[in-house]
Structure 1
Amino acid sequence: MADDSHGVKEASEHVDGIFEHVEDNISVAPKVDQRHAEMYAEALRQYPDEDSIDREAEKKLKRKLDQRILPLLGICYFFYYVDKTTLSYAAIFGIQSDLHLKGTEYSWLSSIFYFGWLFWSIPSNLIMQRCPPAYYLAFNIFMWGVLLMAQAAAKDFAGLTVLRILSGAFEAIADPAFMLLTSMFYTREEQPSRISAWYAWNGIGVAGGGLIGYGIGQIEGALRSWRYEFLVVGALCTFWSIVLLLLLPNSPTTFWGFNKQERLLMIARVRRNQTGVEHQKIKWGQIKEAYLDYKTWLFVLFGFLGAIPNGGISNFSTLVIQGLGFDTLHTALLGIPQGVLIVIWIGLGAVVNKYMPPNSRTMVSALFMLPTIAGGGQSKKMIVSGMVWFGSCVGNIAGPFFYKSEQAPSYHLGIGSLLVANVAEFLLFFVFRYAFKWENRRKEKVRAALREAGVITDDTEGLNATAFQNLTDGENPNFVYVY
């Protein structure tokens, strides 16, 4: 780890641009670097500190936010999962024989999806920073649907490969967009339970995919069942994108159905995060900081380890089940109990996290293997988010190749890769825990050094001054890691 004195010097340099010295006293100007800056400034004036927030009004607002945001993100995540696993159900409906797939071509179709994701993940994150995020997400979901329907017309391996690459590129924004929208409206203490709420739809997607697959398997039409699979799921995706365009908010300042007072309270609440909310400017210095930050590469490793099992299971689970002697329709139906178990497991993790002492997230995550959320300045946040999914792409690309066709249906190597990756991921949570505790101690030394120099950063005025500036976790002396 680097010498703490270097961190103190760096933080002092950043603080000079945040705090203004006036003679012997310190006055703090609550600068705002956000879209709709005037509303953020008004929120800080009306709610200058935590004591000025009425807790009953805040509870009522949270309930309303939950009702308006979580179902939308949850259904998005449902389609996000079903879209990725449509190929898996197409496999049991005969796509391999119909398209004359040979050798490792099915594995390549599973992996090639993530080449598009890999190529486009970081550019897509940076584009989202410049666009209204809800509109950008809705556009991408519309394209998921269009490309899925196009896959129904595939004639050979080459044509399907091109469509899978394009589908992966448009799906690259999904998880980062869900995380961004969650962090925009909820405090860091509230985020784990809200992430769990929409992430649980992953399990509903597993179960729903099974039901959809079973229903499509009953169709006796002019087309093969796997082609109907792509057409039906694709049409549902395009319809949902239109709903999303109309209902999902882009910003606390423009969220329809909420009056101005509620919007101001939305903004004032997330001051606690010390990460800002919405920024349009790309700061290249923050991008450089993201690539040089060791924590970024820990998150890349985290994404990689978490995706190795997913890359194989999401595309080979139906083949494993079918290989155990089940017919096509029962193989599709067996996705339902798997999905129910996922929902229960995620919900249980959220409940345990809620009642654990503060800073227990990594311990709960190690226990339940659920992801945590990273926050920072917006450009850095977009890059780190993209880098997590970069690691995830590499893992998803590699995962299917552990499932050797000659080892069917037991796939010993594939199951072994799952176990090794999960154990390594489990250990990595403890690395995160140590790193974040060390960073928090370093931050406190920085604040102590600044206090000795006559600069108080963590009083009410100081917190307001840093809350809505476009600062990274490294630049902001008041940012504290939750672990």
Structure 2
Amino acid sequence: MSHAEGTASGKQGQDEQIESVENAPRQDQEHPVKSRPDKALKLIADAGHSTILTAENNARVLRRIDLRLLPILLGIYFLQQLDKSSVSYASIFGLIEKANLHGQQYSWLGAVVYLVQLVAQPFVAYILVKVPVGKFLAFTTLGWGLALTCMTPANTFAGLLVCRMFLGLFEAGIPAAFIAVTQMWYRRLEQPVRLGSWYAMNGVVYMFGSLISYGLGHIKSSGFEPYQIIFLFFGLITIVFFGVILLFMPDSPLQSNFLEKEDRLLAIERLRMNQQGIETHEWKWGHVKEACLDIKSFFWFALMFSISIPSGGISTFGPLIIQAFGFDQFKTILFNIPFGAVQLVSTMGGAWLATVLKMKGPVITLLCLPAITGCVMLLQLPRDGSHNGALLAGYYLISVYPGITPMIYGWSAGNTAGETKKKVVNGILLVGQCAGNVLGSNLYTTTDAPLYRRGLLSNLAMFCLLVLLSMMNMAHLLSLNRKHRKSRVSMGKNARIVDHSMQAIGAIPEYKTAPQQATIEDNAFKDLTDWANEDFVYVY
């Protein structure tokens, strides 16, 4: 579409563009581009024109992006959670007894995955800036599939621990890569549902993983124990899926063979509104420094640490908590299925509510309330066999908590700009997640059965802390928006700026500049951080 055609279309009020800024030459003086700009600018320059985004062509391109990316992302995350949870299913089918695990050893099989991931995060952040994300996802999936398959013959604590370490190492980059993919392909308004959709695979794993394990546990074999069959089956499926990822997962909107040239330009134009950039493959130490000094980074760390303490404990000990109510191994597996259903509903329901409200902090607070109630119920109800229904209800109320994690992912992703800074902040966030998971899984021990009081008390405290942290972070983001407002005024711009990235295409029909002009003048693809870009609007 030509520049003139774009201008004509804009007059009809059908198109959406990031708001213009006044005194653009002064803006360039404020932000001299000394390093490599975003590759999106090169693609636009090579095409000779930018493009106009309408409600119709946006919906078409978004549908194509969803159909290509989401099945792959959902499949990867389903397998990751299935493989990671396999040790909890195996615990029901004799792993603890056959491997002679005692004391904290079973807890460490859960914790070591997160401990290795914690150590790996700085390297993951650097690799994700330098390496195409599609290839990264393919080969890390192959790696953890092989690690899980190797758990089949392991029958000692040492052997299982080594395999779990490699599984954790190869899985370390998956959440960071998924957040990067979401930032790279989706507008900020669209991100909560996409983040929630792949994270909701936790709930699907609880349901179908339990059913698959139930079936595998009934297989009679003279050569394999039931838990070994579980490891072998899940590991081989993961290895096969590696080929699917390698063939079909694109590296970025700039190298997306499934989109035509004009559609690639539309995919880029959709992201202009985010003011976050797309891809540079340049590591910038200034971004690293800013990420480490940014108070938001510590809020993301604290929020993720707080939710991961309950997550680490319950994901490892959930089936054992149910078994402690007095059920046999097969009923324990079946009663774990509703836990997954509640997770699925809370995750997608929370994502939908965050999209409607255009805020994530209040949704996190809301999701904490059922979990707090569930913890209190499990702490107070007696284990005398007559309260099993109420105990299960309390356990299912706690299962609302997985909806909180993608909210924090999305909250952080939507409030960080600059490619290196985004990857470093994701690393900080995931260090908090790993540290919380390590601690959380060790707050539950087999010797605490059947009450698991220490673990449940810690979970209760963390859910209450999450409410407080969410309120504090919203107040901090409000202060940052006020600071940017003052910066815009000092540069001769309007104080108020419309955040089009949080609006549906066509909801605000006006725009103030033509596409080619905006390409040169706005900050969207200059690889600026959220601090440096006065046009960046923080979301609550």
Same fold by TM (over 0.5)? yes
Q: Distance in 1 between matches of 2:32 and 2:311?
A: 48
Structure 2: which amino acid aligns with 1:64? R
Aligned position for 2:481: 440
Give the secondary structure class of the aligned counterpart of 1:473. Answer: coil
Q: Is the aligned partner of 1:273 residue 2:314?
A: no
Which of 459, 462, 474 aligns to 1:421? It is 462
Once the two structures are superposed, residues 74-118 of structure 1 have per-residue CA deviations (whole angstroms, 9 ceiling, x without a partner) of 122211211211111111111111111121111122111112101
Q: Is the aligned partner of 1:466 residue 2:523?
A: yes
Once the two structures are superposed, residues 6-54 of structure 1 have per-residue CA deviations (whole angstroms, 9 ceiling, x without a partner) of xxxxxxxxx9996159xxxxx999x97123642143579323xxxx322
Aligned position for 1:45: 49
Q: Say whether the 8 Å CA contact 2:305–2:432 is kept in structure 1.
A: yes
Q: Say whether the 8 Å CA contact 2:93–2:226 is kept in structure 1.
A: yes
Q: Say whether the 8 Å CA contact 2:36–2:280 is kept in structure 1.
A: no
Q: Distance in 1 between matches of 2:492 and 2:364?
A: 35
Deviation of 1:245 (Å): 1.3
Aligned position for 1:451: 492
Deviation of 1:209 (Å): 1.4
Q: Distance in 2 between matches of 1:240 and 1:44?
A: 39
Q: Say whether the 8 Å CA contact 2:40–2:525 is kept in structure 1.
A: no
Aligned position for 1:293: 294
Q: Say whether the 8 Å CA contact 2:88–2:316 is kept in structure 1.
A: yes
Aligned position for 2:39: 35
Aligned position for 2:97: 97
Structure 1 residues 473 and 267: alpha-carbon distance in aligned structure 2, compared to 1, 3 A threshold: same
Once the two structures are superposed, residues 248-302 of structure 1 have per-residue CA deviations (whole angstroms, 9 ceiling, x without a partner) of 1111122122111111000011000111011211001111111111111111111
Deviation of 1:387 (Å): 0.7
Structure 1 residues 102 and 20: alpha-carbon distance in aligned structure 2, compared to 1, 3 A threshold: closer
Structure 1 residues 40 and 326: alpha-carbon distance in aligned structure 2, compared to 1, 3 A threshold: farther
5+ long unaligned stretches in structure 1:
1-14, 22-26
Q: TM-score, normalised by structure 1?
A: 0.89
Q: Say whether the 8 Å CA contact 2:192–2:352 is kept in structure 1.
A: no
Which of 420, 431, 455 aligns to 1:379? It is 420
Structure 1 residues 334 and 312: alpha-carbon distance in aligned structure 2, compared to 1, 3 A threshold: same
Once the two structures are superposed, residues 344-369 of structure 1 have per-residue CA deviations (whole angstroms, 9 ceiling, x without a partner) of 1122222222332x4x2211232133
Q: Say whether the 8 Å CA contact 1:140–1:171 is kept in structure 2.
A: yes
Q: Size of the alignment, in residue pairs?
A: 455
Aligned position for 1:163: 163
Q: Distance in 1 between matches of 2:120 and 2:471?
A: 31
Ranges of 4+ aligned residues in structure 1 off by more than 4 Å? 15-18, 458-464
Structure 2: which amino acid aligns with 1:472? T
Give the secondary structure class of the aligned counterpart of 1:19. Answer: helix
Aligned position for 2:365: 366
Q: Distance in 1 between matches of 2:26 and 2:153?
A: 58
Aligned position for 2:28: 19
Q: Is the aligned partner of 1:135 residue 2:145?
A: no
Structure 2: which amino acid aligns with 1:243? V
Deviation of 1:395 (Å): 0.6
Q: Is the aligned partner of 1:403 residue 2:417?
A: no
Q: Say whether the 8 Å CA contact 1:308–1:399 is kept in structure 2.
A: yes
Q: Distance in 1 between matches of 2:324 and 2:104?
A: 18
Structure 2: which amino acid aligns with 1:83? D
Q: Distance in 1 between matches of 2:167 and 2:295?
A: 31
Q: Say whether the 8 Å CA contact 1:376–1:473 is kept in structure 2.
A: yes
Structure 1: which amino acid aligns with 2:49? R
Deviation of 1:126 (Å): 1.1
Q: Distance in 2 between matches of 1:273 and 1:197?
A: 20
Q: Distance in 2 between matches of 1:283 and 1:249?
A: 24
Give the secondary structure class of the aligned counterpart of 1:223. Answer: coil
Deviates more, 1:375-384 or 1:321-330: 321-330
Q: Say whether the 8 Å CA contact 2:121–2:427 is kept in structure 1.
A: yes
Q: Say whether the 8 Å CA contact 1:32–1:41 is kept in structure 2.
A: no
Q: Is the aligned partner of 1:65 residue 2:65?
A: yes
Q: Is the aligned partner of 1:316 residue 2:317?
A: yes
Deviation of 1:467 (Å): 0.8
Structure 2: which amino acid aligns with 1:425? L
Aligned position for 2:388: none
Q: Say whether the 8 Å CA contact 1:43–1:268 is kept in structure 2.
A: no
Q: Say whether the 8 Å CA contact 1:206–1:336 is kept in structure 2.
A: yes
Give the secondary structure class of the aligned counterpart of 1:467. Answer: coil
Percent identity over the alignment is: 35
Q: Say whether the 8 Å CA contact 2:116–2:168 is kept in structure 1.
A: yes
Q: TM-score, normalised by structure 2?
A: 0.80
Structure 2: which amino acid aligns with 1:307? S
Structure 1 residues 333 and 95: alpha-carbon distance in aligned structure 2, compared to 1, 3 A threshold: same
Q: Say whether the 8 Å CA contact 1:118–1:169 is kept in structure 2.
A: no
Aligned position for 2:346: 345
Aligned position for 1:326: 327
In the TM superposition, 1:209-220 aligns within 5 A as 209-220=209-220
Q: Distance in 1 between matches of 2:36 and 2:271?
A: 14
Deviation of 1:163 (Å): 1.6
Q: Is the aligned partner of 1:412 residue 2:412?
A: no
Q: Say whether the 8 Å CA contact 2:275–2:523 is kept in structure 1.
A: yes
Structure 2: which amino acid aligns with 1:337? P
Aligned position for 2:115: 115
Q: Say whether the 8 Å CA contact 2:304–2:436 is kept in structure 1.
A: yes
- Indicate the RMSD between aligned Cα atoms, in angstroms: 2.5
Aligned position for 2:255: 254
Q: Distance in 1 between matches of 2:472 and 2:531?
A: 19
Aligned position for 1:393: 434
Q: Say whether the 8 Å CA contact 2:40–2:279 is kept in structure 1.
A: no
Aligned position for 1:10: none
Deviation of 1:125 (Å): 2.0
Deviation of 1:339 (Å): 1.0
Q: Distance in 1 between matches of 2:304 and 2:478?
A: 21
Q: Say whether the 8 Å CA contact 2:250–2:256 is kept in structure 1.
A: yes
Q: Distance in 2 between matches of 1:28 and 1:159?
A: 54
Structure 2: which amino acid aligns with 1:35? K
5+ long unaligned stretches in structure 2:
1-23, 368-403, 500-511
Aligned position for 2:75: 75
